[in-house]
């Protein structure tokens, strides 16, 4: 790794740890860093720190990294800064699955997670299959994804309007995206799934970088483009769907993190490690803001990430228009 990306990765990793420590200290009652360290090392037993705050902090870091990598995958795949999972319909598809679990099934946590993952995969499969018709096109994937996202969002709105009031309230709350109330029982399986997916894509990082330099060069170096693209889609969808199944759709992290990480690292392509660490920083920071903004009431983190991401999207579009 070049010197600047390595330095950026170290700084971002320190920020992740610092925000994690702040997240463990902050709450209804402030815990000093010494109390946090005592709880983490086992010298003192603290249910608040270990069982309440630590799962939330860990989820923010791991889920943020997963969303950052998912965004980097799709932006590398499409060669478009708008090519993120929440823009091309994956989040909307997962929300459809959650609505199905709430309205048709009994709405248990397992049903919610399974349905959101399955529907997210189905929507992504539709988008991918339509985009590879007559040859793969990144621009076509983005355009088709935006169209499918609009249609699925309309379907979701119709389902919410037709649902009972209590189900509609729960569905709208879930759609905001939140880390409130997560505990270790919600996280072990998603953490393992994300660890496997990130390991798989890390092995393919060099091949991904070669595709960013152009398909002809990638082919001459022995990259199997069709197989690599399918693997990238599966990993990106898997990361997004896994996070959405637990925390709901958390918007704009996967859109902003890869581009911020790329600019910080000064890289021509979109490197995975800066994107992952930037995603972790963004989600942890957004969650802390969500907790502090209307304390003692904790906002859903998706509200903050959407507000910040909207400003980022306006800036990005303005910059692209000026460049054009």
Give residue-wise pLDDT tens across range 309-323.
Answer: 777 778 777 776 676
What does the pLDDT average to over 57-62? 93
* 209/221 Cα distance (integer angstroms): 12
pTM (predicted TM-score): 0.88
* Tokens coding 119: 């529907």
Task: Encode pLDDT of 81-104 as tens digits.
Answer: 777 887 777 888 888 888 888 888
**CA distance linking residue 95 with residue 87, whole number of Å:** 14
Residue holding tokens 């969650």? 287
Lookup result for tokens 């339509």: 130
In sequence order, the 6+-apart residues with CB closer than 8 A to the CB of 232 are: 73, 74, 76, 77, 201, 204, 208
pLDDT at 68 over 90: yes
Pick the CATH number of 3-323 from 3.40.50.620, 3.65.10.10, 1.10.3470.10, 1.10.287.70: 1.10.3470.10
Confidence (pLDDT) at 212 = 67
Please compute Rg for the chain using Cα positions: 20
**Is the per-residue pLDDT at 287 higher than 80?**
yes
- Element (DSSP H or E) covering residue 58: helix 54-78
């Amino acid at each position: 790794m070049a010197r600047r990306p390595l330095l950026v990765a170290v700084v971002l990793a320190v920020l992740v740890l610092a925000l994690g420590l702040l997240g463990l200290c902050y709450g209804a009652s402030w815990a000093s860093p010494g109390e946090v360290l005592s709880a983490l090392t086992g010298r003192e037993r603290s249910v608040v720190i270990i069982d309440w705050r630590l799962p939330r902090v860990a989820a923010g870091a791991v889920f943020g990294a997963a969303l950052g990598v998912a965004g980097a995958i799709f932006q590398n795949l499409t060669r478009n800064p708008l090519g993120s999972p929440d823009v091309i319909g994956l989040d909307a598809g997962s929300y459809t699955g959650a609505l199905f679990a709430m309205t048709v099934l009994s709405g248990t946590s397992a049903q919610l997670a399974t349905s959101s993952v399955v529907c997210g995969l189905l929507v992504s499969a539709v988008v991918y299959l339509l985009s590879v018709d007559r040859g793969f096109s990144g621009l076509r994937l983005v355009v088709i994804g935006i169209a499918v996202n609009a249609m699925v969002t309309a379907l979701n709105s119709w389902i919410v309007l037709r649902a009972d009031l209590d189900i509609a309230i729960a569905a709208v709350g879930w759609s905001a995206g939140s880390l409130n109330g997560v505990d270790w029982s919600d996280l072990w399986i998603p953490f393992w799934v994300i660890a496997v997916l990130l390991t798989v894509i890390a092995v393919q990082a060099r091949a991904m970088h070669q595709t960013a330099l152009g398909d002809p060069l990638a082919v001459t170096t022995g990259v199997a483009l069709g197989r690599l693209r399918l693997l990238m889609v599966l990993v990106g969808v898997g990361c997004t769907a896994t996070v959405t199944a637990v925390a709901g759709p958390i918007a704009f992290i996967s859109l902003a993190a890869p581009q911020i990480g790329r600019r910080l690292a000064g890289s021509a392509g979109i490197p995975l490690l800066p994107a992952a660490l930037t995603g972790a920083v963004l989600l942890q920071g957004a969650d802390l803001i969500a907790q502090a903004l209307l304390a003692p009431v904790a906002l859903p983190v998706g509200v903050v990430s959407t507000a910040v991401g909207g400003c980022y999207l306006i800036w990005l579009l303005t910059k692209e228009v000026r460049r054009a």
